[in-house]
Structure 1
Amino acid sequence: MSYEFISVTTHDHVTRITFQRPEVLNAINPEMHAEMQRALDAFAEDADQYICVLRGSGGRAFCAGSDLKAIAASKDPKAREYPKNGYAGLIERYDLAKPVIAAVEGIAYGGGFEIALACDIIIATENSRFGLPEPLVGAVALGGGLHRLARQIGLKKAMGLILSSDNVDAEEGERLGFVNEVVAPYAMDEAIDRWCQMILRASPLAIRASKETVMRSLDEPSLAEAITNQKSYPAFETLMKSEDRIEGPRAFAEKRKPVWKGR
């Protein structure tokens, strides 16, 4: 596929999607929404791709959210509409069991923060900042940020950040609990590779079953029902019928590294 506003590479089971609008802090225009939908569809459907890494180009921003100027200037009535899976083709992709990592360098405001919150892991450089400033322009963060932030850091902390329209740095994000690791700018590439390699040690099907079990359990009415229902989750059922399910114990017994096939 060809893209104008993002770049996509695949290598060693890892898909890397980079926002390519550094001149506007990687703000998302309507065309970029569509490209993200296509790229994430391809990642989700590719059996050989196990992890997706999202990153912004230019070093100043992960993503500054929506490009309001581009939306205002567009004559297309659909310019304000999001693709099938919501903002950036990600925030309503509820059935994606493959892990997604946000590599944040610089600002992640508005929709950019919402994209990061929709990822499973956030790695951030020391100069990164996060916030949902939509009320300052008379808007509401409807890309999942209000819901995910409250679930990820607790109601009072989330309300403080949301109602003040304030922003926090990466270290505060780590203290609050939505950032997994803070690194120096020069160490981002190493951190991404390290996280990917840690995940790739395990069966990709077991990783997907683990992610899906966590996410679905949050919607169960009780712990008891979550434990009772977990074996019926699709990714778990796929794992139980897979070659990887046999390979894991066999490799352990033979004292060798497992050879995962993802099937």
Structure 2
Amino acid sequence: MILQSDAIQVRVDPPIATITLNRPDAGNALTRAMVSELQVALGDVHAEKRIRAVVLAARGDSFCVGRDVAEIAPSEDTLADMVRWGDEAREYQELLVAMLQLPKPLIAAVQGPALAAGAGLVLACDAAIGSDAALFGFPEPRQGIVAGVAAPLLAFCVGGAVASRLLVLADTIDAAEAHRLGLYHKVTPTDLTWAQACDWARTAAESAPQAVGLTKRLLYDTVAEQLMSQLSSGAAASATAMTTDSAREGLAAHLENRQPEWP
């Protein structure tokens, strides 16, 4: 059975499937429920033999603007918050690992801005088609927090120098620059982004499923040998950053639509 929910939808057009983020009014910001449902959807398409390639897409003007800030913001219960932040970071880490370990080609169709946790989703795909409106960046420091889980994946994909620029400067770049850096592998008009990703998925589906799965496993076990421990360290850094005064002020400022006053 293929998962269907309000926020995560799965469309099957053998030999490909499209997993769609469907929270457009909120910029497809990720809630904990969506992270869990994405995990379930990945398991479903993995188990379905008719599906040999997968497209990750989104509805609306944004691909994904990151985590739902209202959901991750501090409450009055500090101890409960610390447990929750640790769980949230671990759950997001596990989602990225599931994407990396999916033995089927996974293509991102990025029709709009992919920011913060949304940019991490793009990095965990095997290839990414970006529209000419597809911004990319990690603005977390402007909210007093850290892109801990995605940081090692970004460095793995584009190298330390580029990762440092994007993470430390909290720099959001346009689609052309993201393409130049290898973050988007092709840039298309917005109305063609999903179709182009499906074309790539169908091309990938022409290969032998076992050969593709073994190739992805080889890359995971060799090129990414150190990545899993780095993702765990990043999750711990993300959770720790949430406990700081800077995070409390930055998230409050974001929710109140004002400039933060850093402690």
Query: TM-score higher than 0.5 here?
Result: yes
1:69 and 1:219 map into 2 onto residues whose CA distance is: 33
Does the Cα contact within 8 Å between 1:28 and 1:66 map onto a contact in 2? yes
What is the deviation of 1:19?
0.7
2:8 paired residue number: 6
- Return the index of the structure with the highest Cα Rg: 1
Does the Cα contact within 8 Å between 1:37 and 1:83 map onto a contact in 2? no
2:124 paired residue number: 118
CA distance 1:49–1:79, shift in 2 (3 Å) = farther
1:35 and 1:11 map into 2 onto residues whose CA distance is: 20
Counterpart selection for 2:101 from 74, 81, 95: 95
Matched to 2:42, the amino acid is L
Name whichever structure is richer in helix by fraction.
Answer: 2
2:224 and 2:8 map into 1 onto residues whose CA distance is: 33
Partner SS for 2:101: coil
Structure with more relative contact order (C-alpha pairs < 8 Å, separation 6 or more): 2
Deviates more, 1:71-80 or 1:206-215: 71-80
Counterpart selection for 1:164 from 159, 163, 169: 169
What is the deviation of 1:14?
1.4
1:70 and 1:14 map into 2 onto residues whose CA distance is: 33
1:68 paired residue number: 69
2:7 and 2:206 map into 1 onto residues whose CA distance is: 32
CA distance 1:57–1:138, shift in 2 (3 Å) = same
Counterpart selection for 1:19 from 16, 21, 38: 21
Matched to 1:214, the amino acid is L
1:219 and 1:104 map into 2 onto residues whose CA distance is: 24
What is the deviation of 1:220?
5.7
Q: How many residues align?
A: 218
Residue 185 (structure 1) aligned with residue 190 (structure 2): yes
What is the deviation of 1:204?
1.5
Instruction: Could you tell me which runs of 5 or more consecutive residues in structure 1 were left unpaired when the two chains were aligned.
Output: 222-263
Does the Cα contact within 8 Å between 1:33 and 1:82 map onto a contact in 2? no
| Superposition map of 1:214-225 within 5 A | 214-219=219-224
Does the Cα contact within 8 Å between 1:34 and 1:89 map onto a contact in 2? no
1:260 paired residue number: none
Instruction: Could you tell me which runs of 5 or more consecutive residues in structure 2 were left unpaired when the two chains were aligned.
Output: 227-263
What is the deviation of 1:73?
8.6
Partner SS for 1:139: coil
Does the Cα contact within 8 Å between 2:66 and 2:119 map onto a contact in 1? yes
| Superposition map of 1:225-244 within 5 A | none
Partner SS for 2:66: coil
Does the Cα contact within 8 Å between 1:51 and 1:196 map onto a contact in 2? yes
What is the deviation of 1:160?
1.0
Counterpart selection for 1:105 from 90, 105, 111: 111
Q: Percent identity?
A: 30
Residue 196 (structure 1) aligned with residue 194 (structure 2): no
Does the Cα contact within 8 Å between 2:54 and 2:201 map onto a contact in 1? no
Partner SS for 1:136: helix
